[in-house]
Amino acid sequence: MTEGRLSFDCTPGAAQRVADLVSRIAERASLTSQQQYWLRLAADEITTNIASHGYQGSAGTVVVDSAIERDRVWIRIEDSAPAFDPCRYRMQAQSACEPLGTREGGFGLMLALHNLDDFIYEYECGRNRNTLVMRRPAAPDTEGTGYRDG
């Protein structure tokens, strides 16, 4: 079941629109609060990265599609900035150990990719397409004995 399409400019208010979308999807898909948090964070970081580095602060549009499937939810974020595959970006390993004041960036992408169940990047017809996937929790035991453990 698709949840519709959003299209908006990469402005400071975009993060809240993304957060609202994730909140709606999470509730409908019965995601846990933790899953909602990390899905929102991933979408926030990807969108922010598009605005800051893709469009480099200039005007640019982001298109967001989303869907709830039987066993997963996905959010797809598209832009027309220069091609950028988040999976190819690796924050320098030593950065995490450097003193706070000397560290480089890249934390946003690390946070975005690390806590999703799946992430798919595609570049097609001049558009970056980032698909964020979270598996839905297992359905409750319908045999009348309550939720399964483990």
Question: Least distance (Å) from another protein to the CB of residue 143?
Answer: 32
Question: Least distance (Å) from another protein to the CB of residue 100?
Answer: 4
130 interacts with another protein by CB under 8 A: no
Q: Number of residues interacting with another protein: please give it, by CB under 8 A.
A: 26
Sheet with 127-135: list strands edge to edge: 2-9, 61-68, 72-79, 127-135, 118-124
Helix (H, G, I), strand (E, B) or coil at 135: strand
In 3D, which of 114, 92, 110, 90 has the Cα closest to residue 102?
A: 92
In terms of C-beta density within 10 A (0-12 exposed, 13-18 middle, 19 or more buried), how is residue 80 classed?
middle
Question: Least distance (Å) from another protein to the CB of residue 145?
Answer: 27
Instruction: Determine which residue in the list 70, 88, 99, 145 makes contact with another protein, applying CB under 8 A.
Output: 99
28 interacts with another protein by CB under 8 A: no
From the CB of residue 133, how many other CB atoms can be counted at a distance below 10 Å? 17
Residue type for 29, please? A
Question: Least distance (Å) from another protein to the CB of residue 140?
Answer: 24
Taking residues 103 to 122 in sequence order and writing x for each that binds another protein by CB under 8 A, - otherwise, the string is x-x-xx-xx--xx-------
Instruction: Determine which residue in the list 58, 70, 88, 100 makes contact with another protein, applying CB under 8 A.
Output: 100
Copy the structure tokens of residue 109: 């992408």
44 interacts with another protein by CB under 8 A: yes
Alpha helices per DSSP H over 30-92: 33-49
Interface with another protein by CB under 8 A: which residues?
12-13, 15-16, 34, 37-38, 40-41, 44-45, 48, 95-97, 99-101, 103, 105, 107-108, 110-111, 114-115
